[in-house]
Structure 1
Amino acid sequence: MNESTPTTPVNGNILIVDDDPHLLRLLGIRLSAANYKVESAENAKVALGKLKSFHPQLVISDLRMEGMDGMALFEQIRQQYPSMPVIILTAHGTIPDAISATKQGVFSFLTKPFESKELLDTVSQAIRLQPIDIDNPEQNELWRKNIISRSTVMASLLDQTKQIAKSDFSILIHSQSGTGKELLANAIHQASSRHDKKFTAINCAAIPEQLLESELFGHTKGAFTGAEKNHVGLFQATDGGTLFLDEIGDMPMNFQVKLLRALQEREVRPVGSTQSIKVDVRIIAATHKNLQQAIIDKTFREDLYYRLNVVELELPPLSERREDIPLLTQHFLNNVLEKIDADIKGFSQEAMELLISAPWPGNIRQLQNIVEQSVALSTEPLISETLVKNALRDKTTILPSFQQAKDKFERDYLAKLLQITAGNVSKAAKIAQRNRTEFYKLLNRHHLTAEAFRSEE
């Protein structure tokens, strides 16, 4: 067994399988030096046994071995651990072998002798793309069990969340739509002293204004047309627990003053009643809107904002936690496969690359939709890049590389300057604060001509 003892966090767990002791030792040294935790197996049978206790994120296996060969081992691994990537090494590699192996789902096919950099680059890519997380006791804590993440930005947020959950302060969660605000609110509730009481969520934007007061505060029989019996509002029904008010920024101004009074007095008055009812409810509010701007625009009360925003949490969009995309993808895939009978093992390497690089304006909700659509249309065990691309609608939804984004900006910027100056290069160069020679070089690089922007007299 080769095992690294780094002072920094381990990059991942890797199981290497080869019947050549020399190569096994060499691989172990190289991977341990790169800060991976490594276990070794001298044949496929030993490897299958070690998989039960070691839980690697990647398996590297020789193709030609006595008894069960590398491809047979891969088939066994795929049956038991469908998402675990496998890299096959061989001194007898051919293009047909590689094509056959990758079509069956092998992550990569490397021919010996291989360069150390090539191996480490392939290993890094395999671990980045696969959805199995490093064993983490924190991940198994019940309070946050529904939040799927291994990103550092989410780890920091969850540390902060657990700390403030112990208090009873009101919390405001700010984030884009589809990022999982309700899941975070529920996690706060589970980590609080109120965890054995009720958690209730309501979307303020989904309730008509005339019904919102009745829904939250309740009403008495005969309070209005259709009120045939007494109705207990969500404040009273959640007494002792946590009430999550989603999209608080869409709450009507007329009702905001009533909510503020309920929070200040810690009591509610049902519609049609003359008696107030004491309630003990922790409030967690959430919005995708800029409430400070809403205050300026006179669409949100400043006093209510400060009552709700004792502590503010910023939930990052999916584009800022891309390392979570493989985990979330596998989670949604598992959920779909529990409901339908489909022989789907996962997403191809190219498809996963596409998912990781997409911009995700709809965040986690959009990712779930993409996974479900891809599963519904897939006819192969591995969901292809083409299916994912179609689900993402078109190529313009894919996040461009830095160079592509830079080129597009320059091209658009130069064209705009030429439009403003009607093709006058001297004026355009002056606005851009560049000399004429450099400006012409920029135009030539982007195949733009000043003459095309000059109006005919």
Structure 2
Amino acid sequence: MHTRHRPAMLVVDDDPGSSGLLREVFVGEGYDVVLASSGTAALDLAAARPFDIVLSDVQMPDIDGIEVLRRLRRLTPDPTVILVTAYGTIETAIRALHEGAFDYVRKPFKLDEVRLCVERAMERRGLRDAAKGDAPVPRPSMLPTTGPKRARPIVGSHPGMMELIKLVSRVAGTKSSVLVIGESGTGKELIARSIHEASPRRDRAFVAVSCTSLSETLLESELFGHVKGAFTGAIERRPGLFVEANRGTVFLDEVGDMSLSMQAKLLRVLQEQEIKPVGGTDTVPVDLRVVAATHQDLEALVEAKLFREDLYYRLNVVALHVPALRERREDIPLLAGHFLREYAARSGRPLRGFSPAAMDLLLAHPWPGNVRELENVVERAVALAPGSMVEVGDLPERVTGRAEAGQSASPSQPRQTLDEMACQYVLRVLEQSKGNKSEAARVLGVPRRTLYRMLERYAEAGRISDVSHGSTSVH
């Protein structure tokens, strides 16, 4: 007969209301819940007794939750820690996951979200049934969690990006092939590098290969290498990128552009973990982690017989979708600020930020080139801005619409400022939306709070007369 085991939970939070609520919920679900009001108190408790799961706030007065996590890992070999934070930046998420946190939730949290997160953590530890009073299940050892050699600048707080980072952390410790899907410029290679740097292979090579920029013959030679005399110009043996990436990660960018014959050769590498150099007769064993990326619909290419179905399933073990920038517009100020700090530091420019009018234009731009285009725009602005702020005049025509405005203006008409033109465009959309600000914000592709801020600024400048009703009269 098995002895009932109540899983022990440590809740660390300096807010007694939050910790008290969590204790009430999880005691009712069969947990032995202990509260700690500081990081130091939590570590003292953890040193005195084992806990199956730790729920810790990040922001605390003495030591933060990430430091608590680090010290817990020194106290016990396999702590299962879920961090709770009101500061839901992607940087915090990356730090937490790379330090070994099982997951994180953001305040204000939903109880169902916390329950689900705890349930998944307990499944991993094999203790979920024990919480219900059933026979305890032997605890499996946790997968090793290792941090990257250097942090990657993945910036944003959009829920889609937060989920993406969670998946990156979870898949990094495996050898499974990953398919990164997203439009050009969304940062697919950055995701691939993050997977590599968070993996046990991080001390080995990360080799990126563009499947679009090389002809089929050159691509085969680059990937597989060649023996001396294999073709005209092959004056010496070359091992190839697959050998260079041995025991590391190879990133195949735009894999959908591969020819069918190259697809067949890649499939053999994935199946057999060996390569045959061009012109050679002997095979060379390799140990590769493959991360592929595409902006195309590979399933449609499979249907059209343009992509091998067997290769598709070999590559698409785990699929990661990178959202387009227009789908996460709330990240534009964060990304723009990040790029501005980076390029200002490189060039020694004392830039502090963007003027409200300049930021409004960045938020309204459709960004067909995604994050890559935004980075280009900010780099250009840093180079051109004469003052301490990036102004509208420092942005290119494709963002400000100056070229179009200049073509339609009569020489006798007074020139409008770009801020006036932006105001007119916003008001025109409001008029077409019949004053519905939620609909106007959706059409403009900006959060509703941003639209309200823009309207308030236009009212303060005397450009509109009634913010509450979104008057379309321009003064």
Q: TM-score, normalised by structure 2?
A: 0.55
- Asked if the contact 2:93/2:162 (under 8 Å) is kept, the reply is no
Task: Say whether 1:280 aligns with 2:287.
Answer: yes
Task: Say whether 1:186 aligns with 2:211.
Answer: no
Match of 1:335 in 2: 342
Pairwise CA RMSD: 3.4
Q: 1:150 to 1:229 in 2, by over 3 A?
A: same
- Asked if the contact 1:268/1:279 (under 8 Å) is kept, the reply is yes
Task: Say whether 1:136 aligns with 2:92.
Answer: yes
Unaligned ranges ≥5, structure 2: 1-13, 20-58, 65-86, 99-146, 406-421, 434-475
Task: Say whether 1:384 aligns with 2:391.
Answer: yes
Q: 1:337 to 1:135 in 2, by over 3 A?
A: closer
Match of 2:239 in 1: 232
Specify which of 390, 413, 429 is matched with residue 404 of structure 1. Answer: 429
Deviation at 1:389, TM superposition (A): 6.1
SS in 1 for 2:292: strand
Deviations 1:59-99 (A, max 9, x none): xxxxxxxxxxxxxxxxxxxxxxxxxxxxxxxxxxxxxxxxx
In 2, the alpha carbon distance for the partners of 1:337 and 1:394 equals: 25
- Asked if the contact 1:294/1:300 (under 8 Å) is kept, the reply is yes
Partner amino acid for 1:404?
A: V
Partner amino acid for 1:388?
A: L
In 2, the alpha carbon distance for the partners of 1:135 and 1:283 equals: 26
Partner amino acid for 1:304?
A: L
Deviation at 1:306, TM superposition (A): 0.9
In 2, the alpha carbon distance for the partners of 1:322 and 1:6 equals: 34
- Asked if the contact 2:253/2:293 (under 8 Å) is kept, the reply is yes
Q: 1:330 to 1:407 in 2, by over 3 A?
A: same
Specify which of 251, 260, 269 is matched with residue 262 of structure 1. Answer: 269
- Asked if the contact 1:179/1:364 (under 8 Å) is kept, the reply is yes
Deviation at 1:152, TM superposition (A): 2.1
In 1, the alpha carbon distance for the partners of 2:163 and 2:351 equals: 34
Alignment of 1:309-324 (within 5 A): 309-324=316-331
In 1, the alpha carbon distance for the partners of 2:320 and 2:431 equals: 33
Match of 1:45 in 2: none
Match of 1:21 in 2: none
Match of 2:218 in 1: 211
SS in 2 for 1:313: strand
How many residues get paired?
Answer: 289
- Asked if the contact 1:374/1:391 (under 8 Å) is kept, the reply is no
- Asked if the contact 1:162/1:188 (under 8 Å) is kept, the reply is yes
Q: TM-score, normalised by structure 1?
A: 0.57
- Asked if the contact 2:181/2:293 (under 8 Å) is kept, the reply is yes
Specify which of 174, 177, 180 is matched with residue 170 of structure 1. Answer: 177
Q: 1:318 to 1:255 in 2, by over 3 A?
A: same
In 2, the alpha carbon distance for the partners of 1:320 and 1:158 equals: 17
Partner amino acid for 2:92?
A: N
SS in 1 for 2:357: helix
In 2, the alpha carbon distance for the partners of 1:357 and 1:365 equals: 17
SS in 2 for 1:196: coil
Specify which of 190, 199, 204 is matched with residue 197 of structure 1. Answer: 204
Q: 1:222 to 1:394 in 2, by over 3 A?
A: same
Alignment of 1:23-172 (within 5 A): 136=92, 138-139=94-95, 141=98, 142-143=147-148, 145-172=152-179
Deviations 1:345-379 (A, max 9, x none): 22112212221232211100000111122223222
In 2, the alpha carbon distance for the partners of 1:338 and 1:135 equals: 20
SS in 1 for 2:305: coil
Deviation at 1:148, TM superposition (A): 1.8
In 2, the alpha carbon distance for the partners of 1:147 and 1:134 equals: 7
In 2, the alpha carbon distance for the partners of 1:290 and 1:369 equals: 27
Task: Say whether 1:295 aligns with 2:302.
Answer: yes
Partner amino acid for 2:371?
A: I
Bigger mean CA deviation after superposition, 203-212 or 170-179? 203-212
In 1, the alpha carbon distance for the partners of 2:427 and 2:229 equals: 64
Q: 1:402 to 1:321 in 2, by over 3 A?
A: farther
Higher relative contact order (CA 8 A, sep 6+): 1
SS in 1 for 2:192: helix
